[in-house]
A and B are shown apart, each in its own frame.
Chain A
Amino acid sequence: MIEIKKLTKQADNKLILRGIDLSILKGETVAILGPNGAGKSTLLKVLASLIKPTAGSVKINGLELKKNQLEIKRMLGYLPHSSLLYDHYSPLENLVFFGNIYGATEVEQRAVRLVKEVGLSFFLNEPVKNFSRGMIQRIAIARAIIHEPEVLLLDEPHTGLDQGAISILNNVILSMKGKKTTTLMVTHDFKQAAEICDRIIIMKNGRIADDFYIENQNIGFVSKKYQLQVEGAS
């Protein structure tokens, strides 16, 4: 589904990504862990076509990213740190606007259903500016999946959420996984990574330091691997 070869990104003489090679299968849910400045968010931004890579190639669903940006963007759902929502718009208006931009069909019905799924149907027509951080994040995830993307790119989606919102978010990610959506999730939350992901990638200094599959939501195994790679402990 996603094929990354020798991906390099340089900004102001600093190498942010140093020759990333990565292959992700369709339907996989992958967590990207790593310390600050490891290049995790940059990798997502390159995949989302927000940043042009310095060198290397990225293929999504067999399509070269450089040559097929619009087709690839149509397949992607991207959720960065910011909500990407218009403050004075209601959840419904935000979702309908982005759904239309993505060329989705039956946008309004889908938007209403998604708002209900994230537990905010009571606030369907309230402006987003009155929402708490958790509520905004729930609408933001609904925005990212309004067009039923084949690939979901999530940048620290659990940050600042309460337990209820985390469980709603995880349910949404798992239901997308049920629909064979490929998910890449940058996170610092080992517990969530172990709970919902099949595979963990640890990045350090712009390189992939480790790449492994996990079973039985073994958080201890993830922590041990992380410590070994990032903190150098054995």
Chain B
Amino acid sequence: MNLLRTAVLLAKKDLYSELKTKQILVTQIIFAALVIVVFSFAFDPANNTTKAVIPGVIWVIIVFAGILGLNRSFISEQRNDTMQGLLAAPMEAASIYLGKFLANFMMILVVEIISIPFLFLLFDFKFLGSLPYFLIVIFLGSFGFVAIGTFLAALAANSKSSEMLLPLLLFPITTPILIGVVQATRIILTNMEKLASALAWIQLITAYDVIFFVVCFLLIDYVLEV
């Protein structure tokens, strides 16, 4: 119970900080908007083949905007050694991980809620697929990416070049998730006849999410050790 309580307190603290400083979320949203605008110039929305690009664009936004947030989540605790304050407090390392994960996940969800409808609007995309399945894929993909990303952000935070190190560590490990979500999103948005194939990808992503979330949860104690 204490684990969840302190994790929620930490997540609330991070989200309230973000509300005050608007450092991460604004950067993420600006980045997402830029990607959408640039892609809308590069591909003609009137052309039908353009629709095939949309699944990729969605995940480019989530992955790169996500990294912007992940990079900051543990580095922000280095100022005034506030991480030491958290470690000296009666909360487990897993609780810190869970709190940071919740805050990062909430922020990326906000970015998705704003950017994906904007993307559909700008590309004049008529949604003919299954909305529940689409939301499940977005949720599972973001969950896995942020779960692994939060763990690796904690690992990279102690390095001087953490902003370079995080993507280097993150992309190889999240490749199966990224392949799965892009494929599943493509099928759900453009080719619902192959739903069975999308479901297989969803199962793979779910298994990957569960395994890595548990592994990160168990290993964070060693990563956060002073």
Contact A101 B9 (CB under 8 A): yes
Return the chain B residue nearest A143 by Cβ.
B85
Provide the bound-state CA to CA distance between A76 and B92, in Å: 15
Decide: A85 near B88, CB < 8 A? Known: A51-B226, A97-B9: no
In the complex, A73 has a CB within 8 A of chain B: yes
Residues on the A chain within 8 Å of B82, using CB: 84-86
- Candidate in B85, B91, B226 with the most chain A CB atoms within 10 angstroms: B85
Complex partner residue of B2 from A70, A85, A97, CB under 8 angstroms: A70
Provide the bound-state CA to CA distance between A70 and B90, in Å: 5
In the complex, A45 has a CB within 8 A of chain B: yes
Contact B89 A101 (CB under 8 A): yes
In the complex, B20 has a CB within 8 A of chain A: yes
Interface set, chain B 184-226, CB cutoff 8 A to A: 225-226
B contact patch SS = helix
What's the nearest-Cβ distance from chain B to residue A76, in Å? 7
In the complex, A10 has a CB within 8 A of chain B: no
Provide the bound-state CA to CA distance between A86 and B206, in Å: 36
Provide the bound-state CA to CA distance between A129 and B16, in Å: 16
Provide the bound-state CA to CA distance between A89 and B92, in Å: 23
In the complex, B6 has a CB within 8 A of chain A: yes
Decide: A73 near B17, CB < 8 A? Known: A84-B84, A86-B80, A97-B9: no
Contact B80 A87 (CB under 8 A): yes
Chain B 16-43: CB-based contact to A (< 8 A → 1; otherwise 0) = 1100110000000000000000000000
What's the nearest-Cβ distance from chain B to residue A156, in Å? 14
Residues on the B chain within 8 Å of A226, using CB: none
What's the nearest-Cβ distance from chain A to residue B141, in Å? 31
Contact B17 A101 (CB under 8 A): no
Interface set, chain A 4-58, CB cutoff 8 A to B: 45, 48-52
Complex partner residue of A73 from B16, B90, B225, CB under 8 angstroms: B90
Contact B81 A84 (CB under 8 A): yes
Q: How many residues of A contact B (CB 8 A)?
A: 30
Interface set, chain B 52-105, CB cutoff 8 A to A: 79-82, 84-92
Residues on the A chain within 8 Å of B91, using CB: 70, 101
What's the nearest-Cβ distance from chain A to residue B100, in Å? 14
Contact A50 B226 (CB under 8 A): yes
Number of A-B contacts (CB under 8 A): 68
Contact B90 A87 (CB under 8 A): no
What's the nearest-Cβ distance from chain B to residue A26, in Å? 20
Decide: A74 near B9, CB < 8 A? Known: A51-B226, A84-B80, A86-B80: no
- Candidate in B2, B13, B81, B225 with the most chain A CB atoms within 10 angstroms: B13
Contact B90 A103 (CB under 8 A): yes
Interface set, chain A 54-105, CB cutoff 8 A to B: 70-71, 73-74, 76, 78, 80-89, 93, 97-98, 100-103
Return the chain B residue nearest A73 by Cβ.
B90
Complex partner residue of B81 from A48, A70, A80, A93, CB under 8 angstroms: A80
- Candidate in B81, B84, B89, B92 with the most chain A CB atoms within 10 angstroms: B89
Residues on the A chain within 8 Å of B10, using CB: 101
Contact A83 B20 (CB under 8 A): no
Contact A76 B9 (CB under 8 A): no
Provide the bound-state CA to CA distance between A93 and B88, in Å: 19
Residues on the B chain within 8 Å of A51, using CB: 226
Return the chain B residue nearest A153 by Cβ.
B88
Contact A98 B84 (CB under 8 A): no
Complex partner residue of A101 from B21, B79, B80, B90, CB under 8 angstroms: B90
Residues on the A chain within 8 Å of B84, using CB: 50, 80, 82, 84
Decide: A88 near B88, CB < 8 A? Known: A51-B226, A80-B81, A83-B80: no
Contact A88 B17 (CB under 8 A): yes
- Candidate in B9, B82, B91, B226 with the most chain A CB atoms within 10 angstroms: B82
User: Could you list 21 examples of A-B contacts with CB < 8 Å?
Assistant: A45-B226, A48-B88, A49-B88, A52-B225, A71-B90, A80-B81, A83-B80, A84-B80, A84-B81, A84-B88, A85-B80, A85-B85, A87-B80, A88-B20, A88-B21, A93-B16, A97-B13, A101-B90, A102-B89, A103-B2, A143-B85
Q: Which 5 A-B pairs give the minimum distances between C-beta atoms?
A: A84-B85, A82-B81, A73-B90, A74-B90, A78-B88
- Interface positions of B (Cβ within 8 A of A): 2, 5-6, 9-10, 13, 16-17, 20-21, 79-82, 84-92, 225-226
